[in-house]
Structure 1
């Protein structure tokens, strides 16, 4: 099967290399599997890079049960090599793309119809029948993958594949969280980012690029060092050891006793998320991004007497991701990336769990 663009052609093989979850809590297995077939609104993407996310670790632990074997990873970028008959208006073979993990919305369920009523268009993020690549359906640790043209975005040439991959989940998630907080922020407000890993490292840069004073908070030396290594114009205005006894006092001093306008929590730690609520000014917004196995707990008195807001955030929409990519290009925002090969995937969890690990793991395929 060959799709032609200009004088170039993409020969699509029948089989491909992939890493799979064959059994929960066991290393990924390298396999040879069939190249997937696309539907009329789909793209076949040759994957050039795919990220490893904390939620990939949770998937491997069985927190999101799915039929096995399954190809993991939901942070892919690559090149379109085949286009479905209904997707030709947005994409063509040879296009550089990023792929978001929610796809194939049904357009009929409550999630689809409710977003259609409130926003004038169906939002596939909330479809009850959506496919979730890398969570419950095959993802991106493979040479090829199926992408939904409706939830894929053009990847600017200024963003490399290695840098583009983390933006499809880490970037989209923390950007979406900031979008939730923006309506409540005032001029002069300070934004806190708790947990400076793959998400928080980008969150600090996004908040700075949007013009807010920013505080990075982490109890790990590796996280605080990562914040210090951000380029000077995007570096946080203050970095705080969140485990220090005076951490909260440091935030209050920096904000002249007011507190943070918003705080985005990029960790699944229940104590850290609960503690972060107390950093907010009156009317401030907390956006927790972790998915802990246990339930969050919040101080009801703080919420009531400061009229604080806690907002859920899933992941940015396609339109929001396109805006994010413009900001990334304009401000040269970067992830701290450690690249590995597909052959290294069975060892990727061990590397991720090392206490001194910083930033994001990206598989080059």
Structure 2
């Protein structure tokens, strides 16, 4: 019997536009969830995939920010999953349970964690992702989407939201509510980061050298607006931070840009014992001032992306505080031109493709 077909956008050659194709609907295995994708985000990592930075085998269905509904539940899937559930899907999946990464997580947390599995699959990076009508998901990295969160808003939370939420969790326990935390680089991640930081009780500073970024920083609900917005290129930018913190400097900083210069500058804005979490990945290596790190006892803390448990907590905060992204929706047939839209300097926030109307 012929396989069912679906519409999908594929990378068939690096550095060339996505190609719209008819491909077979993936077969739902015993331990899988088959997801009908309603919305899928596009982010900077997708551009890196398109350029071949992750060495994916082609053809590949990209996008790692899906939101949709369960269309089929594998026969061996455990838990309360059912057809029709509204869900979001994280990109890492199918932990082997045997590699050193899995053994470490089992020892420390009593459960496997595909984020650190050396044999994990990464949807949209090296394995088929969300730019298709259906995709396969791992129940262990799938989360229920609150009813009040739309598919279009839910999609960016699966990467942008999970990444910056995870970064803010890394400030704990050193940085306490009421202390000053900066979000540097206000794009899709940064705008969510501002709202998360305010919801967590931090005095929040939004920093960007672009007018578009600073405008995006205040394009949120009144209660979640940053306490201070700074142009990092202004001659008195550091003085503004010191004035805001009574001369102490920032307690924490989450840097949502891959600019080496911005990361180096951000470290200098920390006060004694401050914590910085860089999120953007530059092609060249970071460079930080060792003297500042030593004499101010600063911490630079790595973060991958939030765990499934952390993402579930994030979604509760999103629903409770009505946190949202500035999104621009794109029809499925416009995917081949999405890179040009992303590169447009007037573009702000997140691009989200509506897969299923």
Using structure 1 for the length normalisation, give the TM-score: 0.95
Query: Does 2:34 align with 1:44?
Result: yes
Long gaps (5+) in structure 2 = none
Match of 2:114 among 121, 124, 128: 124
- SS of residue matched to 2:172: helix
Q: How does 1:136-215 map to 2 (within 5 A)?
A: 136-215=126-205
Query: Does 2:219 align with 1:229?
Result: yes
Q: For each residue in 1:279-308, what CA deviation from the matched residue of structure 2 results, as whole angstroms up to 9, or x when unmatched?
A: 111111110011111111100001111111
Greater alpha carbon shift after TM alignment, 245-254 vs 233-242:
245-254
Long gaps (5+) in structure 1 = 2-12
Which residue does the alignment assign to 1:311?
301
- SS of residue matched to 1:181: coil
1:88 deviation in Å? Answer: 4.6
Once residues 329 and 336 of structure 1 are traced to their aligned partners in structure 2, the CA distance between those partners, rounded to angstroms, is 16
Once residues 40 and 194 of structure 1 are traced to their aligned partners in structure 2, the CA distance between those partners, rounded to angstroms, is 44
Which residue does the alignment assign to 2:17?
27
Match of 2:347 among 357, 362, 365: 357
Does the 8 Å CA contact 1:287/1:311 hold for their aligned counterparts? yes
Following TM superposition, the consecutive aligned residue runs of length 4 or more in structure 1 with deviations greater than 3 angstroms are none
Using structure 2 for the length normalisation, give the TM-score: 0.98
Once residues 346 and 295 of structure 2 are traced to their aligned partners in structure 1, the CA distance between those partners, rounded to angstroms, is 40
Which residue does the alignment assign to 1:283?
273
Which residue does the alignment assign to 1:81?
71
Query: Does 2:209 align with 1:219?
Result: yes
Greater alpha carbon shift after TM alignment, 55-64 vs 195-204:
55-64
Q: For each residue in 1:21-61, what CA deviation from the matched residue of structure 2 results, as whole angstroms up to 9, or x when unmatched?
A: 11111111111111011222210000000000111111111
- SS of residue matched to 1:134: coil
Once residues 171 and 35 of structure 1 are traced to their aligned partners in structure 2, the CA distance between those partners, rounded to angstroms, is 28
The two structures, once aligned, show a CA RMSD in angstroms of 1.3
Does the 8 Å CA contact 1:90/1:149 hold for their aligned counterparts? no
Once residues 164 and 292 of structure 1 are traced to their aligned partners in structure 2, the CA distance between those partners, rounded to angstroms, is 27
Does the 8 Å CA contact 2:275/2:299 hold for their aligned counterparts? yes
1:182 deviation in Å? Answer: 2.1
